[in-house]
Amino acid sequence: MARMYIFKRFERFWHWAQAALIIFMLATGFEIHGTYALFGWEKAANLHTTAAWTLIGLWLFAIFWHFTTGEWKQYIPTTKNVVAVMNYYSVGIFTGAPHPFRATQLSKHNPLQRLAYLLVKLVINPLIWVSGLAYLYYNELAALKVPVLAGLQLGPIALVHTAAAFMMLAFLIGHLYLSTTGHTPLAHIKAMITGWEDAEGDEPAANTVKEGAA
């Protein structure tokens, strides 16, 4: 097994903090919609709003970090080997075939992951934040009397926000499942905790760094 340092400290913090906030917002959001009773409607709404602003702050800092470190390049989509990766997840993983992609520091995400993360960043996240902020500040936006905002109705805004939440939930379920598809069920999860990933093969990756690096 070749051991490679893949995920930096901030990446791991950002990943787990983001995951916790998203799961918490899903829980409070579905309570606001009356799916169940846990905190009570008013408290759930307040907690949902607080978590939303916390996540916005985290995302803004993460955007700054990605662009200043060059890590944004990890999300540039590519079609190279995407069919091979899709075949692996649909067939090869059940027949013991080797994974067609090997992560390195310069290429951490396989082609299918890049496309999925791009969908989240360019479609799901904007839908959630635009609809969420429009819902939260509906009265203030209506008071502005801006023509482009005049036709906004609270019902459709809430519907878009709920649809985006279900899209995020579907992504989360898929993400959790794929996180168990390493050479052991916990290999990918362990890598996101320690930063180090064990990959099949005897040759260490060219981008391996010393243990303990940031």
pLDDT digits (tens, 9 = 90+) for 113-122: 999 998 998 9
Euclidean distance between CA atoms 193 and 5, whole angstroms:
11
Structural domain includes residue 27: no
CB 190 within 8 A of CB 16: no
pTM across the whole model: 0.84
Question: In the predicted model, is pLDDT for residue 204 greater than 90?
Answer: no
Domain membership of residue 23 (yes or no) is: no
In this predicted structure, what is the pLDDT of residue 105?
Answer: 83
183 is a domain residue: yes
Q: Is residue 47 part of a domain?
A: no
CA distances 41 to 26, 38, 119, 128, Å, are 14, 8, 31, 20
Whether residue 26 lies inside any domain: the answer is no
Percent of the chain residues past pLDDT 70, beyond the cut: 90
Question: What total of structural domains would you count in the chain?
Answer: 1
Q: Which residues form the domain of 146?
A: 2-9+53-199
**How many angstroms separate the CA atoms of 70 and 19, rounded?**
23
- CA 114/CA 40 separation, integer angstroms: 38
Q: Is 80 within the bounds of a domain?
A: yes
Residue 124 inside a domain? The answer is yes
Q: Report if residue 81 sits inside a domain.
A: yes
Backbone angles phi, psi at 21, to 5 degrees: -70, -40
Task: Identify the residue with better confidence: 104 or 12.
Answer: 12
